[in-house]
Structure 1
Amino acid sequence: MAAARDAGLTPAAAVDAAAPHDSASSGFASAPAAQADSLERGIVAARWLGWRRRGLVVLALLGCVGLFTLLRMLSASPHIDAAWRSNASGELVLDSAGDPALRAHLGQTLAGVVLADGSLLPPEVLLARRSPRWVVDDTLRQQQLAYGSAYAGALREGAVRLKFAQARVPIEARTVPRGYAGLGSVFWLMTALALVFYLTGAVVVLVQPDERNLLFGLTAVAQTTHLLLIGLDTLPGFDFPARMASLDLWLRVSCDIVTGAASVHALSVFPRRLPHQGPIALASWAVGIAFIVTVAFNPVPGLWWWTQGLQLSYFAAGWLLLVWSYRLTPHPMAIVMRRLSLAVFGILLLLTLSVALSQGNSDLQRFAAGPGSLIWYVFQASALMLVPFLSRSQHVMREFTLLAGISAVATSLDLLFVAVMPMSQFTSHTLALFLALGLYAGARQWMLNLLMGSNMLTTERMFEGLYRTAREIETSAGDHTEHFARLLGDLFEPLELGHATRSAPATRVVGDGSTMLVPLPRLPGVADDLQPRGSLVLRFARRGRSMFTREDARLTDRVLEQLVRAVAFDRAVEQGRNEERARIAQDLHDDIGARLLTLMYKAQSPEMEDYLRHTLQDLKTLTRGLAASSHLLSHTGAEWKADIAQRLDAAHCELDWSFDFDRDVNLSVVQWSALTRMLRELINNVIVHARAGRASVSARYHRGRFTLRVSDDGAGRRPETWAHGLGLGGIRKRVKLLGGEVHWRENDTRGIRCEIEVPELGERG
């Protein structure tokens, strides 16, 4: 679709260009040619799937090999076979040990680790999380890196000297390989999550290896690396793999910057390619790569501040690009991703403020670098992984992202409360938990609506559209495509709605949720040459504020299915009505007509014979009208004139008749019956109640609008005071049945005139 837009094609033309060739459009093709064409398409499809399947297998194997290599390295890394816990004072206490030399000191407090040069490594360093990425102070970060390097060197020696507060001399603890069982359950969970994100990125890249998907794959690799590094932080004990200690800080900073730069680059080409996209992408990568190289070779003063500021700048720039993109083209993906990026920016800003305000509190620093950063990275990764599936039914992914976001907010609020307000950690935990739960309960649906766009479709509105469309199809002739288009346009309010001549195999959502293709269904009881053909192309739902989803496609199928059923039911009901009318007309003709004819021949006076003759004529008109399924407007007008002239002549009332129409249309039985009975009732009022000497009847049909005016010079006055009995009430009901309006007014001289207007009469072509 993007290529079609670049080429200047309409949505319908784009679908025609991309739609698969069907047999209906090539009726003159021979069977062997059609089979060869089908075979060729099958070979192309097999090749298209073949190399992608092989590529996915290769990438999956590479990921598994890399993960297995990491697991082998971790399982072979030296480890003190002991479990530690923190007491109420924040000191490390030996809880259990597999080393016999340590079992004698169970329950004792660790004073530190004696290094090779005799210096004592304090337990506060061991309590700190391994990664220095979230340490704000540069001095503390360098000190933690130095201590970590020294402790890693002690582990490589095969023995670590531990100094307990209750012991006079250090205890030498032997190191053993950690093994797979010593990696911990949280590490396995983070590893599985990282593998899922890696494979998701691989699938997205292989489905369509274009620029934006390659950038998404790069972001997926960065988030996978983040999750693996977080998994290393969760290893039991305070041992950290020596090979990773020197790379941890640089890897985390690089992944953060790569994620930001790739996001800006991707948002400059999607949902639409922005003007000056090249310089924008080049600038984002130039700044990011320069910062990564600087961190790799030189210590950067204020590293944490620079990293956080650069991350926030990337997210803010991405939000501005989405605002610009939506102004140029109101793509629903732009507004959805704008809301998502705003949520990510807000949570990162809140976490940054919380960590910055917690300086000087070692407990808060450990919490921020541990659980705080873990929850943030899980939320960021899940939010990024959510983007390819926004237009699909991925409820679990959306809920997981929402929960991760609420957890990140709760963690940031907890840090903020402890850092700013004089309250205990238990109080801050409880308050942050209740606020987060309240935020989740109160804002869950609102946040999902922000992500997906609020759905304004209601049951009442849907059934109203179904009923109206079924009536339009029933009363109209010709192509019914416009009726389907009007129904779907009212339901989804697209910015663009077009018609493609080739039919899609099924209703589906394309273009990342911007477009929905709807094949037109066959209608029962409609000739083949009048059946709607092709597909409807809907783009930019809710006036560009929402995306089409798979739920919308399923809803569309159900709505069209119900519409076809409603049309079939209406046609069956109408057929039953016609049969019943024909039966009644036949009974009236055979029974009542025969009796009236007998009475006419036996009439004892000319007046009675004339009255019965006119009654027979009225009965003939009535039965013919009931038996016919439709009536030409010109024939109906002639019948009206003959009937009215005869009745007014008998009442010694003159008639002024005027009938004008621009097109001779067929009236349905309902329309013919309603108009005939209304006109007879109005003429009856002229004769009986007005006692007029002249009546004027003017009928006009122009562009589908029918206007009827009946005027007299009788004694009628002040029609607004009339009591509407069966006669006038029946006229109002019949006019309402036809969808028109009726008014009675006084003439300028004398008498009353009745004006009836029906906006749509007859079959619409």
Structure 2
Amino acid sequence: MPCTPAAPSPPPEPGLDDEQPVFGWRRQVLVLAAVLGCLAVFALARWLAATPYLGGEWTAGDSGSLHLRIDDAQTLQVVAVSAPGLAPQPVDALLLHRSPRWQVVDAERLRQVQQHEALATLLARPGGVLQLHGPDGRVTERPVGPRGYAGLGWAFWPLSGLALLVYLFAVVLMLARPQPRKLLFLVMALCQAGNLVYIALEGTRGLGLPIGALACDLPVRATLDIASTAAAVHAFILLTHAPRWQALLAWGLVPAWWAAAATHALPLWWLAQAACLGLGAWAVAVAHIGQRRQANAHALVLRRLAGAAWLTLALVTAAVAGASGPGPASATVAAAASATWYLFVASLLLLTPFLARRRQVLREFSLLAGVSTVVTSLDLLFAAVFSLSDFASLAVAVFIGVGLYAAARQWVLQHLVGTSVLTTERTFEHLYRAARELQAQPRSHPQLLARLMRELFEPLEVQVVDRVPVRARLLGGGSALAVPLRPADDDAPGSGQPLQGLVLRHARRGQRLFTLEDARLADRVVEQLRRAVAYDAAVERGRAEERQRIAQDLHDDIGARLLTLMYQAQSREMEDYIRHTLQDLKTLTRGLAATEHRLSHAAAEWKADLTQRLSVAQASLGWHLQVDHDRPLTVVQWSALTRVLRELVSNALFHGHATHVEVSLQLEGPVLRLQVADDGLGRNPEGWAHGLGLGGVRKRVKLLGGEVAWSENGERGIVCTVRVPEFASPA
């Protein structure tokens, strides 16, 4: 059985490209291989065109007899052929069947080959005339001449072209990046090309093939099939890291088959089919065991392809075996089933290296070839097992085939290759969350993008590498995806080129390959993430410029007016009040204009501001500051803490009439804890009606991502506790 899995490429090295352009000697080798392949096809066509043949419209009778249609009203039954002066050679409908490889009964195959060889010998004699003997002893002479190119038949050139395409495709794949394991794919491709050439040779018009063409059909083609499945087993062994001695056993079946074919000790067709089916099941089992031991998307997809090919071959084998009989129609359909089977395998070979890419024509051709194989096989089975008429069996088989095509197409697109796409809502949700986190922590761009890729594609492994392509691309035939990391900040040095990259291996936890759609989605996600961060940075720059403008206006306009009022104050108390208001305005404008506030500097300003406020009210301040690291504050954090502190101290003075206020500020890791306690008259905070002041405190604390609570401070006063669990991450 020429099973489908190609010799897979080795796991891609991180950051390295898995494709190399064909230059230099590779191009020369490719041109040479193409020229040799074309010369071989035309040499075969010229050889067949020069071969003498017996033309006419030949059909098979109900009893297995051979008929030649003379005209619309006359048909000649032929029981023997001869050349002038030679003894007649008996013939029958076996002359119409030219594939000894798919002849089940050994005795029938031997008689089939003998008739073809005898006819080829008679056609090769000079004279140009062949005598046809009827059952009544009447002899009819028919002219014999070279077949010519017109006698090759309509199927010869497409089949020969497909064989050439498979051969050149394997050569290109081998030259793109030469590796020993790609020799296995080359072996399978050459075996299938050989089978296609045999089918093209056996599909010529009329009667008569070159001497010896069919004598070696079964040994050669069965050897090609067994070698192809042995290469498939070897490929799965390399892919799943199974013991190498199994490959030696698989290849050992090839000489074992030759030995059995030479002795004729066993039914050769059954022996060949058993070897192919056994090797195919072996390949699937090796892939299944390897997948259970270690998830591998490439091995899983190839195992599914091999399983589909094995089931199809098993159906073809059962159909041909069940239909093996004297009926002429069953033999014709059996030949069609075997031909469609080889077309199916050839299409799978062409499709396998492009599983991760959009090759819709190849996928549809493979599906159609596989369904056609199933339909012809079911037609044979229905006619043989249920004794249905030719029309009834064909109608039922076609009906089943159409349903099978629809179901198989959906299954292939969703499971075999894994082209199911992510929902827009899910993608946007992950992207939005990553953008918000990246805005807060720009330096964590690789980690955040790696997590985003995990959430989107669920790979088995994500690795940060140094060398990646400019855009996302597939590696290892879709087993890995390289994603470039563009800097989050457009102003970063070298922002036009990726600094690092990610290599994701085996999507959906090893259940599918990466596809071109995945690569495009990854590029879009990376670009949108970069744009989101750039937009946020632009908005923040605009906010900073607006804050500076407002601070400058307050300083130049309101500050100047307050200063004039202070000089014109009528009393000492009014002058002090305006001076304190000017100091508050100075603190506010400095905070608005500053692009960055260090926690230590802000704490010093808060302490000085609160000390001044409490001293005016003839109250004292207790200040406790404990931080494990100094860090910059954003404008939002600085503004929120400044207003919270002022509001809490103002409430303690004007509502609680406190004489002492204790302020404790602690920062341990990412957790910020602020506590303001007083000795005022306030009690029972649960019964307070929260107005604008306390409501503003809650709103600002919530903006920081924290929580606030009020409680009684022992026997006298109130204590307010603010806790922000994710205020800052350790540097």
TM-score (norm 1): 0.82
In structure 2, C-alpha distance between the alignment counterparts of 1:653 and 1:553, rounded to whole Å: 66
Q: Which moved more, 1:531-540 or 1:409-418?
A: 531-540
Q: What is the aligned partner in structure 2 of residue 630 from structure 1?
A: 596
In structure 1, C-alpha distance between the alignment counterparts of 2:569 and 2:562, rounded to whole Å: 10
Q: What is the aligned partner in structure 2 of residue 570 from structure 1?
A: 536
In structure 1, C-alpha distance between the alignment counterparts of 2:419 and 2:701, rounded to whole Å: 39
Return the offset for 1:606: 5.7
CA contact (8 A) 2:160 2:197 kept: yes
* 1:301 paired to 2:266: yes
Q: What is the aligned partner in structure 2 of residue 333 from structure 1?
A: 298
Matches within 5 A, 1:49-60: 49-60=23-34
CA spacing shift, 1:81–1:421, aligned 2, 3 Å: closer
In structure 2, C-alpha distance between the alignment counterparts of 1:524 and 1:718, rounded to whole Å: 47
Matches within 5 A, 1:651-670: 657-670=623-636
In structure 1, C-alpha distance between the alignment counterparts of 2:10 and 2:699, rounded to whole Å: 52
In structure 2, C-alpha distance between the alignment counterparts of 1:610 and 1:79, rounded to whole Å: 124
Q: Which amino acid aligns with 2:39?
A: V
In structure 2, C-alpha distance between the alignment counterparts of 1:15 and 1:540, rounded to whole Å: 14
Q: Please list the CA deviations of residues 11-65 of structure 1 after superposition, one character each: whole Å capped at 9, or x if unmatched.
A: 9xx558x799xxxxxxxxxxxxxxxxxxxxxxxx99x832222222222222222
1:544 to 510, 513, 531: 510
Q: What is the aligned partner in structure 1 of residue 78 from structure 2?
A: 112
Q: Please list the CA deviations of residues 51-84 of structure 1 after superposition, one character each: whole Å capped at 9, or x if unmatched.
A: 2222222222222222122111111122233235
Return the offset for 1:683: 5.1
What SS does structure 1 have at the residue aligned with 2:513? Answer: coil
Q: Which amino acid aligns with 2:99?
A: S
CA contact (8 A) 1:411 1:432 kept: yes
Q: What is the aligned partner in structure 2 of residue 139 from structure 1?
A: 107
CA contact (8 A) 2:464 2:502 kept: yes
In structure 2, C-alpha distance between the alignment counterparts of 1:377 and 1:341, rounded to whole Å: 14
TM-score (norm 2): 0.85
Q: What is the aligned partner in structure 1 of residue 3 from structure 2?
A: none
In structure 2, C-alpha distance between the alignment counterparts of 1:364 and 1:654, rounded to whole Å: 111
In structure 1, C-alpha distance between the alignment counterparts of 2:465 and 2:605, rounded to whole Å: 46
Matches within 5 A, 1:126-275: 126-127=95-96, 129-157=97-125, 158-162=128-132, 169-269=138-238, 271=239, 273-274=241-242
Return the offset for 1:227: 0.9
In structure 2, C-alpha distance between the alignment counterparts of 1:537 and 1:113, rounded to whole Å: 71
Q: What is the aligned partner in structure 2 of residue 415 from structure 1?
A: 380
Q: Which amino acid aligns with 1:669?
A: V
Q: What is the aligned partner in structure 2 of residue 310 from structure 1?
A: 275
Q: Please list the CA deviations of residues 565-613 of structure 1 after superposition, one character each: whole Å capped at 9, or x if unmatched.
A: 3333222222111111111121222223333444445555666555544
In structure 1, C-alpha distance between the alignment counterparts of 2:79 and 2:62, rounded to whole Å: 21
Return the offset for 1:709: 4.4
Return the offset for 1:617: 3.2
CA spacing shift, 1:759–1:150, aligned 2, 3 Å: same
Matches within 5 A, 1:276-675: 276-277=243-244, 279-295=245-261, 297-327=262-292, 329-360=294-325, 362=327, 365-421=330-386, 423-453=388-418, 455=420, 457-476=422-441, 478=443, 480-502=445-467, 504=469, 507-528=472-493, 533-603=499-569, 609-644=575-610, 657-675=623-641
Q: What is the aligned partner in structure 1 of residue 47 from structure 2?
A: 73
CA contact (8 A) 1:413 1:432 kept: yes
Higher relative contact order (CA 8 A, sep 6+): 2
CA spacing shift, 1:74–1:753, aligned 2, 3 Å: same
Return the offset for 1:189: 0.9
CA spacing shift, 1:715–1:113, aligned 2, 3 Å: farther
List gaps (5 residues or longer) in structure 1: 21-44, 96-101
List gaps (5 residues or longer) in structure 2: 1-6
What SS does structure 2 have at the residue aligned with 1:509? Answer: strand
In structure 2, C-alpha distance between the alignment counterparts of 1:516 and 1:221, rounded to whole Å: 31
In structure 2, C-alpha distance between the alignment counterparts of 1:725 and 1:421, rounded to whole Å: 89
CA spacing shift, 1:406–1:640, aligned 2, 3 Å: farther
What SS does structure 1 have at the residue aligned with 2:150? Answer: helix
Q: What is the aligned partner in structure 2 of residue 125 from structure 1?
A: 94
In structure 1, C-alpha distance between the alignment counterparts of 2:663 and 2:609, rounded to whole Å: 12
Q: What is the aligned partner in structure 1 of residue 728 from structure 2?
A: 761
Q: What is the aligned partner in structure 2 of residue 34 from structure 1?
A: none
In structure 2, C-alpha distance between the alignment counterparts of 1:206 and 1:532, rounded to whole Å: 30
Return the offset for 1:550: 4.3
CA contact (8 A) 1:108 1:164 kept: no
CA contact (8 A) 1:630 1:669 kept: yes
In structure 1, C-alpha distance between the alignment counterparts of 2:433 and 2:552, rounded to whole Å: 33
What SS does structure 1 have at the residue aligned with 2:24? Answer: helix
Return the offset for 1:154: 4.0
In structure 2, C-alpha distance between the alignment counterparts of 1:222 and 1:196, rounded to whole Å: 13
What SS does structure 2 have at the residue aligned with 1:536? Answer: strand
In structure 2, C-alpha distance between the alignment counterparts of 1:517 and 1:747, rounded to whole Å: 59
In structure 2, C-alpha distance between the alignment counterparts of 1:757 and 1:434, rounded to whole Å: 68
Q: Please list the CA deviations of residues 664-720 of structure 1 after superposition, one character each: whole Å capped at 9, or x if unmatched.
A: 11111123223334444555666677887876544322223333445678334548x
CA contact (8 A) 2:701 2:722 kept: no
Return the offset for 1:300: 4.6
Q: How many percent of aligned residue pairs carry the same amino acid?
A: 46
Return the offset for 1:326: 3.4
Return the offset for 1:90: 9.8
Q: What is the aligned partner in structure 1 of residue 665 from structure 2?
A: 699
Q: Please list the CA deviations of residues 197-222 of structure 1 after superposition, one character each: whole Å capped at 9, or x if unmatched.
A: 01011122233443211121111111
Q: Which amino acid aligns with 1:182?
A: G
What SS does structure 1 have at the residue aligned with 2:400? Answer: helix
CA spacing shift, 1:331–1:747, aligned 2, 3 Å: farther
CA contact (8 A) 2:468 2:501 kept: yes
| Aligned-CA RMSD value | 3.9
In structure 1, C-alpha distance between the alignment counterparts of 2:513 and 2:604, rounded to whole Å: 56
Q: What is the aligned partner in structure 2 of residue 35 from structure 1?
A: none
CA contact (8 A) 2:598 2:630 kept: yes
State how many pairs are aligned. 712
In structure 2, C-alpha distance between the alignment counterparts of 1:226 and 1:5, rounded to whole Å: 29
Return the offset for 1:256: 0.8
Q: Which amino acid aligns with 1:591?
A: D
In structure 2, C-alpha distance between the alignment counterparts of 1:131 and 1:525, rounded to whole Å: 68
In structure 1, C-alpha distance between the alignment counterparts of 2:165 and 2:453, rounded to whole Å: 38
In structure 1, C-alpha distance between the alignment counterparts of 2:498 and 2:174, rounded to whole Å: 38
Return the offset for 1:187: 1.7
In structure 2, C-alpha distance between the alignment counterparts of 1:438 and 1:241, rounded to whole Å: 42
Q: Please list the CA deviations of residues 473-510 of structure 1 after superposition, one character each: whole Å capped at 9, or x if unmatched.
A: 44336574434434444444433333334565654433
In structure 1, C-alpha distance between the alignment counterparts of 2:316 and 2:275, rounded to whole Å: 15
Return the offset for 1:193: 0.7
